[in-house]
């Protein structure tokens, strides 16, 4: 069974940093592009970033470019999202998802709250 489980969310002050993880199981993550998608509670889905199979090609939404860094460790089947210079508008549930033609499987997400 494919599973994606995010962790690392929490409360952080504006300007702070947080690192999210996404543990994949039930498939070989090295065979798939992976994504981060965020969702403000009660609002819609917003794509954040995509990393290709080996991590050599990464794309970011303009809203996070220069502040967020995506990486992956295929030996651990884990995806990461390093978030720096966090702003109130980054408050959201962060989902990881897999797939190259639109995500097919998603995790339930981890909540990041940026507030003082």
Partner 1 sequence: DIQMTQSPSSLSASVGDRVTITCRASQGIRNDLNWYQQKPGKAPKRLIYTVSTLQSGVPSRFSGSGSGTEFTLTISSLQPEDFATYYCLQFNSYPWTFGQGTKVEIK
List residues near partner 1 by CB under 8 A.
Answer: 4, 35, 44-47, 50, 59, 61-62, 95, 97, 101-109
Indicate the residue among 72 and 95 with the shorter CB distance to partner 1: 95
| Chain centre to alpha carbon of residue 108 | 11
Indicate the residue among 16 and 99 with the shorter CB distance to partner 1: 99
Query: What tokens appear for 80 in the block?
Result: 């990461």
Strands (E), the chain: 3-7, 10-12, 18-25, 34-39, 45-51, 58-60, 68-73, 78-83, 92-98, 105-106, 110-114
Please report how close the Cβ of residue 116 comes to partner 1 at its closest, in angstroms: 27
Indicate the residue among 30 and 45 with the shorter CB distance to partner 1: 45
Please report how close the Cβ of residue 73 comes to partner 1 at its closest, in angstroms: 22
């Amino acid at each position: 069974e494919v599973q994606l489980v995010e962790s690392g969310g929490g409360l952080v002050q504006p300007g702070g940093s947080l690192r999210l993880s996404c543990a994949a199981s039930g498939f070989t993550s090295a065979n798939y592009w992976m994504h981060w998608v965020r969702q403000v509670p009660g609002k819609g889905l917003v794509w954040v970033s995509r990393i290709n199979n080996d991590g050599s090609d990464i794309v970011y939404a303009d809203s996070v470019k220069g502040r967020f860094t995506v990486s992956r460790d295929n030996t651990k089947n884990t995806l990461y999202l390093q978030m720096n210079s966090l702003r109130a508008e980054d408050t959201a549930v962060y989902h990881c998802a897999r797939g190259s033609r639109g995500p097919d499987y998603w995790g339930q997400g981890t909540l990041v709250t940026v507030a003082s």
